[in-house]
A and B are shown apart, each in its own frame.
Chain A
């Protein structure tokens, strides 16, 4: 298990852009499971949307990317990279995520190298898939 302090030691994102609260499982080279507790207190709900709070799909993709970065760092131990750039995202969103939901992120490795990785990504709430796709990112 990994808390927010340890998460922060591995990725450069910070509040208000830290999209993971906890990592529950890592199998280096293979997969990572993490979650984010979605709270109504988060500022973007003021505008997304004023009458109906929906967790932005772009932030689900961001949570996926952050989990993938952690997996990459925990898998390639001599990786010197400190910055990560998303270069490709193909994600479908199936169901809205709302305040109170615990957003589970499951990332599986397709290919990992020192210059970046390709990952199969999934997000789920209460065991039901809410988004699924593939993501490629470069690191420097």
Chain B
């Protein structure tokens, strides 16, 4: 997988998250809390994890699921495995 630049990564992950939580991408700010601000539950987080893995052909252990709390966290976690 070629390296993805930061802006592209942010845009792509925002779109993935928006699709799963069924919100407009603009609502997914870098800091918006998945649970408190976006109404996400643990299974939606799992869907995001699976979508990240598929998109970037990476494997993220399930222990990392709890780290998905915002778009910022999602970007950080994805970069760890790219």
Interface residues of A (CB under 8 A from B): 87-88, 110-111, 113-118, 136-138
Known A-B contacts A110-B50, A118-B50; the reply to A88 vs B43 at CB < 8 A is yes
Q: Mark B44-72, 1 if CB is under 8 A from A, else 0.
A: 00110110011000000010010000000
The residue of chain B having its C-beta at the shortest distance from the C-beta of A117 within the complex is B46
9 A–B contact pairs at CB < 8 A?
A87-B41, A87-B43, A110-B54, A111-B49, A113-B46, A115-B46, A136-B43, A136-B47, A138-B43
Q: Which residues of A contact B65 (CB under 8 A)?
A: 113, 115
Interface residues of B (CB under 8 A from A): 41-43, 46-47, 49-50, 53-54, 62, 65
Cross-interface CB contact of B43 among A110, A114, A116, cutoff 8 Å? A116
Which are the 9 A-B pairs with shortest beta-carbon distances? A111-B50, A113-B62, A87-B43, A118-B50, A138-B43, A110-B50, A136-B43, A116-B43, A115-B42
* Interface of A: prevailing SS: strand
* Interface of B: prevailing SS: helix
| Contact across chains for A116 and B46 when beta carbons are under 8 A apart | yes
Known A-B contacts A111-B49, A111-B50; the reply to A138 vs B62 at CB < 8 A is no
Q: Which residues of A contact B62 (CB under 8 A)?
A: 113-115
| Contact across chains for A111 and B53 when beta carbons are under 8 A apart | yes
Q: Which residues of B contact A113 (CB under 8 A)?
A: 46, 62, 65
Known A-B contacts A113-B62, A113-B65; the reply to A118 vs B47 at CB < 8 A is yes
Distance A87 CA – B21 CA, assembled complex (angstroms): 13
B61: shortest Cβ distance to chain A, in Å?
9
The residue of chain A having its C-beta at the shortest distance from the C-beta of B50 within the complex is A111
Q: Which residues of A contact B46 (CB under 8 A)?
A: 111, 113, 115-118, 136
Q: Which residues of A contact B49 (CB under 8 A)?
A: 111
